[in-house]
């Protein structure tokens, strides 16, 4: 590493051109002040990208388990991997746009009686119904927002499943974190009242006060109010996810679930004799954020309600939301050009003069977690692609197009579009980057991990022109950062979770995380 003296650093800073080298020599805590990675001010040479010192950037440093003992420790950064499936390596030119992709935050009300945590013990496909770190989702999102503030992208794509159980208070908490404001996690008068209490004698739930790793007082601290500065002026582009408007990402709220949510009776125990019907198990590679069949959940919930319940504090703020209200409240985050009252949250928006983002809403209005393309979406997409002209296009959806019902025709449209450079998605909770080579030049299918399961990362995406008219995407993961230790505890608990992202490989390979994705010049 180049040695930087104080005198030299000061001189370079005064010249206004040495932010990055200075940042490279500073510790992480000092990086916030030093880095400015907006598209207009950041040098984009390959060397510079290696030396980026983001606050939360995994290029500089990230968490790892080098000895494999289940304990995360701060480790070295991960360099950007050159991926040339869609084009040769080329010198990086000026930046075209910078984005942050944060998806599947699953901000949840861990005290909600409408949660079906007891289904977790049935294993796949219900492993998402309880997580050891679930009381800390608000703090994790706040830590991610802090990392995004340091990144200073041109726009923040909120990739869907911002909340977990379609509850009004969950959405209020999540939106307050994103746009800034006071957040009071949880619900009810006692702050936390759920299955993780030490007084709960069900050993299948991790209880931080008594189970290992012990964190006495964690639940109390998790429900303390805090203030989030938000993303501070960056536009947020919302994407609708299944959990935003469906109970457990699966069920359309019904009279039963609505009354359960605001009421004073909760289901904590799996009723005796209740078991998964034969053949209901899905394989572990399936989406972790919701079971695949609403009928199955409905059936299990109905049966479960016949069993014993636990008294909990009632709270009307847990009201379950309708699709229209969710869309409206999410759209309020977005720039004014995003439609507020449309039937679906499909829209397109320019990010800078040379990049256009097209957002698709694939959530099933009738229930079910998998994506679904509805009538008219293909035509709308085609028209938006046509309107994009010479701008590079990034398509975003919550569920991946290639696993959504009716997604193939849309992919075929994209295949023919010469300026489509990337398709971003969430839902799978997995970091993954795949090349889709087409005759028109191809594009990258980029999936970003969730904030609730390990690795709890968001993604930075920077589109850069390359010499010869091509384009490249510099992408790297962002770890959440926070002032206290709650975020670190959440990350560690998510890592330990035997049903979580660690055993299921959600972090992906290095090439799925930090990479430079080359794409040859457009043929049109």
Query: Cα–Cα distance between 121 and 139 in angstroms, integer?
Result: 26
Token readout for 247 is 């109970």
Residue 85 or 200 having the CB closest to another protein: 200
Q: Does 277 bind another protein (CB under 8 A)?
A: no
Q: Does 23 bind another protein (CB under 8 A)?
A: no
Q: Does 213 bind another protein (CB under 8 A)?
A: yes
Closest CA to 457 of 480, 486, 475, 483: 480
Q: Does 27 bind another protein (CB under 8 A)?
A: no
Using CB under 8 A, which of 203, 273, 366, 389 touches another protein?
203
List, in order, residues 6 or more apart from 423 with CB less than 8 Å away.
394, 395, 396, 397, 400, 401, 414, 436, 443, 444, 445, 446
Token readout for 521 is 């010049």
Closest separation between CB of residue 132 and another protein, Å?
Answer: 8
Token readout for 146 is 């802090």
Closest separation between CB of residue 131 and another protein, Å?
Answer: 10
Q: Does 212 bind another protein (CB under 8 A)?
A: yes
Q: Does 497 bind another protein (CB under 8 A)?
A: yes
Closest separation between CB of residue 75 and another protein, Å?
Answer: 17
Q: Of all helices (H) and strands (E), which one includes residue 492? A: helix 486-496
Q: Does 495 bind another protein (CB under 8 A)?
A: yes
The footprint of another protein on residues 150-189 (CB under 8 A) is none
Asked if 392 contacts 356 with a C-beta cutoff of 8 angstroms, the reply is yes
Using CB under 8 A, which of 55, 193, 206, 392 touches another protein?
206
End-to-end CA distance of the chain: 43
Strands 471-479 and 155-158, bridge-based pairing: unpaired
Token readout for 236 is 């947020």
Closest separation between CB of residue 213 and another protein, Å?
Answer: 6
Using CB under 8 A, which of 63, 192, 193, 205 touches another protein?
205
Q: Does 128 bind another protein (CB under 8 A)?
A: no
- Write the CA distances from 94 to 150, 156, 343, 473, integer angstroms: 21, 20, 38, 12
The footprint of another protein on residues 406-465 (CB under 8 A) is none
The footprint of another protein on residues 130-149 (CB under 8 A) is 132
Tokens 């040379």 identify what position? Answer: 354
Using CB under 8 A, which of 29, 201, 341, 439 touches another protein?
201
Site string for another protein, 350-389 (x = CB under 8 A): ----------------------------------------
Token readout for 83 is 């991926």
Asked if 198 contacts 115 with a C-beta cutoff of 8 angstroms, the reply is no
DSSP 385-446: HHHHTTSEEEEEESS-GGGSBTHHHHHHHHHH-TTEEEEEE-SS---EEEEE--TT--EEEE
Residue 360 or 493 having the CB closest to another protein: 493
Q: Does 69 bind another protein (CB under 8 A)?
A: yes
**Dihedral of CA 447/453/456/458: which sign?**
positive
The footprint of another protein on residues 98-127 (CB under 8 A) is 121-123
Q: Does 282 bind another protein (CB under 8 A)?
A: no
By CB under 8 A, the count of residues binding another protein is 29
Using CB under 8 A, which of 502, 508, 512, 515 touches another protein?
502
Which parts of this chain interact with another protein (CB under 8 A)?
67-71, 121-123, 132, 201-206, 210-213, 270, 284, 495-499, 502-504
């Amino acid at each position: 590493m180049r040695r930087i003296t104080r005198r030299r650093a000061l001189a370079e800073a005064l010249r206004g051109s040495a932010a990055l080298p200075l940042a490279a020599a500073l510790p992480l805590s000092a990086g916030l002040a030093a880095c400015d990675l907006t598209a207009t001010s950041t040098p984009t040479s390959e060397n510079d990208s290696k030396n980026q010192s983001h606050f939360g950037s995994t290029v500089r440093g990230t968490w790892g388990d080098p000895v494999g003992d289940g304990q995360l420790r701060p480790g070295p950064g991960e360099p950007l991997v050159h991926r040339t499936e869609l084009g040769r390596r080329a010198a990086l030119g000026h930046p075209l746009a910078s984005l942050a992709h944060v998806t599947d935050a699953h901000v949840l009300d861990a005290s909600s009686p409408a949660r079906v945590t007891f289904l977790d013990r049935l294993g796949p496909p219900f492993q998402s119904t309880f997580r050891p770190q679930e009381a800390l989702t608000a703090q994790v999102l706040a830590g991610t927002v802090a990392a995004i503030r340091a990144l200073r992208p041109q726009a923040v794509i909120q990739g869907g499943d911002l909340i977990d159980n379609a509850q009004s208070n969950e959405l209020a908490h999540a939106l307050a974190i994103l746009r800034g404001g006071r957040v009071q996690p949880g619900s009810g008068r006692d702050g936390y009242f759920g299955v993780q209490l030490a007084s709960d004698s069900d050993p299948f739930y991790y209880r931080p006060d008594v189970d290992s790793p012990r964190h006495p007082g964690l639940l109390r601290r998790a429900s303390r109010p805090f203030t989030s500065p938000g993303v501070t002026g960056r536009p947020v582009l919302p994407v609708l996810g299944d959990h935003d408007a469906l109970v457990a990402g699966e069920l359309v709220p019904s009279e039963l679930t609505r009354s359960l949510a605001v009421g004073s009776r909760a289901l904590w125990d799996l009723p005796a004799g209740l078991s998964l019907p034969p053949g209901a198990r899905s394989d572990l590679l399936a989406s972790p954020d919701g079971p695949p069949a609403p009928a199955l959940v409905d059936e299990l919930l109905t049966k479960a309600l016949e069993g014993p319940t636990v008294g909990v504090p009632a709270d009307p703020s847990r009201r379950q939301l309708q699709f229209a209200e969710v869309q409206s409240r999410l759209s309020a985050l977005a720039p004014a050009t995003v439609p507020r009252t449309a039937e679906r949250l499909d829209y397109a928006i320019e990010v800078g003069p040379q990049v256009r983002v097209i957002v698709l809403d694939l959530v099933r209005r009738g229930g079910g977690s998998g994506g679904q393309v509805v009538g008219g979406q293909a035509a709308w997409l085609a028209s938006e692609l046509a309107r994009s002209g010479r701008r590079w296009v990034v398509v975003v959806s919550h569920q991946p197009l290639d696993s959504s019902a009716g997604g193939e025709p849309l992919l075929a449209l994209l295949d023919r579009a010469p300026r489509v450079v990337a398709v971003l998605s969430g839902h799978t909770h997995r970091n993954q980057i795949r090349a889709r080579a087409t005759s028109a030049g191809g594009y990258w299918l980029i999936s970003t991990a969730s904030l609730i399961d390990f690795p709890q990362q968001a993604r930075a995406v920077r589109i850069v022109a390359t010499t010869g008219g091509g384009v490249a995407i510099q992408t790297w993961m962002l770890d959440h950062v926070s002032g206290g230790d709650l975020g670190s505890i959440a990350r560690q608990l998510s890592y330990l979770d035997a049903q979580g992202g660690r055993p299921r490989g959600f972090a992906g390979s290095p090439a799925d995380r930090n990479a430079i994705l080359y794409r040859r010049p457009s043929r049109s």
